[in-house]
Amino acid sequence: MPDDGNIVRRTVDFKPNADSNTLLRHREYHRLHRLFVALRPPGAMRRKLLDIMDGVEGARWQDEGQLHVTLRYIGAVERPVAEDIAVALQAVHAPALDLALSGVGRFDTGSRGRALWAGVTPHDAVAALHRKVDHALVRIGLQPEGRAFLPHITLARLNRTAGPVDSFLAAQAALSSPPQRFDHLILYESHLGQDGAWYEPIVRYPLR
């Protein structure tokens, strides 16, 4: 995963070559793209989070390239819809955000699964951007976000064999950081590999 300074806008060419009728290109056109919209934490914040990832047996800690603040989960879509999404997000206009780390928590059930997370604040600023992203996607036909929005950065995934987390939660309850600037909205594609998911930044949209 490239660092922020190396993430560039990739040409979102989701349309097949009109001169090709091969089965391969047909399959590629209909391949599903697992998308989400997120903010990428600055380097100092990512390093601080990596430093606290310890103390829970069996936890699948996130690596540096997986750290993000999800604004809108989209899910699997075909190329024409992915192209529409990339264009629709150009209409999202918002100022850059100055966000700080604020405590830790866990998800035990539900659509987010079992996980440890770090909070970010102020909530209202992130929630306002979330709503703008959601509205932009609803305007092109996607369903509105169906779950309550809680701005956070996932630290670890927990399976049924993971050890107790209470000691970690207590030790990191006061987690904090100085406010840091988040100045881009990013459309990511999630890829599943042998070692888990990795996230490819597709398009960066400036916040200013």
SS3 34: strand
Q: How confident is the model at residue 30 (pLDDT cuts 50, 70, 90)?
A: low
pLDDT at residue 24 greater than cutoff 50: no
Bridge partner residues of 109 (DSSP) = none
Q: What is the mean pLDDT of residues 115-144?
A: 97
SS (H, E, C) 92-159: CCCCCEEEEEEEEEEECCCCCCCEEEEEEECHHHHHHHHHHHHHHHHCCCCCCCCCCCCCEEEEEECC
CA distance 39 to 67: 9
Structure confidence at residue 146 as a pLDDT band (50, 70, 90)? confident
pLDDT in the model for residue 110: 57
Mean pLDDT value of segment 199-204: 96
**Mean pLDDT value across residues 5-24:** 42
Residues β-bridged to residue 157 = 60, 115
Q: Which tokens is 80 given? A: 């024409």
Does the pLDDT at position 105 exceed 80? yes
User: Are 85 and 197 a contacting pair, CB within 8 Å?
Assistant: no
Q: How many whole angstroms separate alpha carbon 35 and alpha carbon 22?
A: 26
How confident is the model at residue 9, as a pLDDT? 41
| pLDDT tens track for 35-92 | 999 999 999 999 999 999 999 999 999 999 999 999 999 999 999 999 999 999 999 9
Percent over 90 (pLDDT), the chain: 75
**CA atoms within 13 A of residue 44's CA, in its CB half-sphere:** 10
The letter for the amino acid at 32 is L
Digit-coded pLDDT (tens) for 153-183: 999 999 888 999 999 999 999 999 999 999 9
